[in-house]
Structure 1
Amino acid sequence: MRKMRDIPDRDRPREKLAKRGPQALTDTELIALLLGRGTKGRDVSEVAGDVERYLRGTGGKPSYEALLAIGGIGSAKACEIMACFELGRRYFGDDDVTGTRITRPEDVIPLVSEWRDKKQEYFISLTLNGAGEVIERRIVTVGILNQSLVHPREVFADAITDRAASVILVHNHPSGTLDPSVQDLGITRQLVEAGSILGIRVLDHIIVTKGGYVSLKELGHL
């Protein structure tokens, strides 16, 4: 992990947040921003990394005593972290999609289950923040039978508005086949290239049917 002093000013958490919003920051960057500085012999990035690894296994319920056991975390910082989690719990909405963390294709399927057996082709975009959590789920286009025409501007206009760090694309095949078509592969390449220019990564393109799903990333097309 790079030390904070070795990171260019424009890529440091505070500058990154001011320019792109908090959604663009990773968990470790958000924690580093909260901590502000490290301690003697421990860079803030190192401390933030240790805190992030601890928080990952807490289920959103960190312990004050456990935070104090992390090198570089004193009472004041432990209290600030606990306060952030409590505020998050108090203000967190009831949306069953927003905030869902995506780590693998299987995590996406419950979020798009209502479109798996549609008679028309639906093209859906999930925008994600820097922590891999869903910001919004949107229908981009609705096609006819087995064809859905998608333009990059339709996918990335909302992603830019969301200040998304990445997107996952999903569409259904009314025919029931999971084989990606030539058109599927072509639009995927086009969207990956457009996302690269905009700084919004296309993490995956998933095809779903009533009987299953296939990830173009796992097939090696991304």
Structure 2
Amino acid sequence: MIPKIEGLVNTMYICDNPETAKRMADLPEHERPREKLEKNGAQALSDRELMAILLGKGRKGRDVLAMAADILEAVDRNGGFPDHDALRAIKGVGPAKASVIMAALEFSRRRIRPEGTKISSPADVLPLLRHYADRKQEHLICLTLNGGNEVIATRVITIGLLNRTQIHPREVFADAVTDRAAAIVLAHNHPSGNVSPSSDDHAVTRRIRDSGEVLGIPLLDHLVFTLKGYYSFKEHGDI
């Protein structure tokens, strides 16, 4: 059981408009991050809810969950480890909160790493990516693999709508070359909840596949995933 901090819940606002701001205590108990964690475990919470617990509270008129979403975007845009200045640039994040966030990210990096996970099927990839499934923007993620199909690293390549003009092979393969990767796997979330790939998804996949063949770093699969399922280009014979 996580100890309650007196008065903390009443200061966790859930909207950005100070005139209509509600307290976290006004949410149904089963929707409050701390209570959800106590009842269902940390694995049941979204990244945003976990970050909200780390933050503890928002500021007057500033939603703690909105702050958490802004921080997650900064995390994704900075390779998983934003610096102090990037965090301080977020409305409501002061030096103390920035330090807590950086410490939590570094602790998790040291203790829980995907490196060494062997990838044999999409089922092996999804546990490493499912926390991106609830993001409101598409995140293109690249897993670099060694010769034994073990994960070297997992990185967010781009955030936003995927199309053939935005995704350049050099962005995908720059780190793969540095990692001396033997292969890569691409994946991206569909905020719409529909796992069917778009025409641009197919075009991007073909472009990266062809570039990988030239570089000798083959694209093994491209996954489109949501909270409810996934589409594998490999399983459907599209690679």
Q: Same fold (TM over 0.5)?
A: yes
Q: Residues of 2 paired with 1:119 and 1:102: CA distance?
A: 27
Count of residue correspondences: 129
Residues 186-214 of structure 1: per-residue CA shift (max 9 Å, x gap): 01000000000000010000001111111
Q: What corresponds to 2:100 in structure 1?
A: none
In the alignment, which of 154, 166, 170 is matched to residue 183 of structure 2?
A: 166
Higher relative contact order, structure no. (Cα contacts within 8 Å, ≥ 6 residues apart) = 1
Q: Residues of 1 paired with 2:163 and 2:132: CA distance?
A: 15
In the alignment, which of 186, 194, 209 is matched to residue 177 of structure 1?
A: 194
Q: Residues of 1 paired with 2:122 and 2:228: CA distance?
A: 15
Residues 169-201 of structure 1: per-residue CA shift (max 9 Å, x gap): 000111110111100000100000000000001
- Whether contact under 8 Å (2:163, 2:201) holds in the other structure is no
Deviation at 1:95, TM superposition (A): 3.6
Q: What corresponds to 1:122 in structure 2?
A: 139
Deviation at 1:158, TM superposition (A): 0.3
Asked if 1:133 is matched to 2:150, the reply is: yes
Residues 46-80 of structure 1: per-residue CA shift (max 9 Å, x gap): xxxxxxxxxxxxxxxxxxxxxxxxxxxxxxxxxxx
Q: Residues of 1 paired with 2:189 and 2:167: CA distance?
A: 13
- Whether contact under 8 Å (2:183, 2:217) holds in the other structure is yes
> Percent of aligned positions with the same letter in both sequences?
50
Q: Residues of 1 paired with 2:111 and 2:235: CA distance?
A: 32
Q: Residues of 1 paired with 2:234 and 2:163: CA distance?
A: 21
Residues 20-71 of structure 1: per-residue CA shift (max 9 Å, x gap): xxxxxxxxxxxxxxxxxxxxxxxxxxxxxxxxxxxxxxxxxxxxxxxxxxxx
Residues 132-151 of structure 1: per-residue CA shift (max 9 Å, x gap): 0000000000004x768311
Q: What corresponds to 1:204 in structure 2?
A: 221
| Structure 2 counterpart of 1:170, one-letter code | A
User: Structure 1: which 4+ aligned runs deviate by more than 2 Å?
Assistant: 93-96, 146-149
Equivalent residues in 2 for 1:62-211, closer than 5 Å: 94-144=111-161, 149-211=166-228
* SS, match of residue 206 in structure 1: strand
Unaligned runs of 5+ in 2: 1-109
| Structure 2 counterpart of 1:118, one-letter code | R
Q: Residues of 2 paired with 1:117 and 1:147: CA distance?
A: 20
Q: Residues of 1 paired with 2:120 and 2:144: CA distance?
A: 14
Q: Residues of 2 paired with 1:154 and 1:175: CA distance?
A: 25
Backbone CA RMSD of aligned residues: 1.5
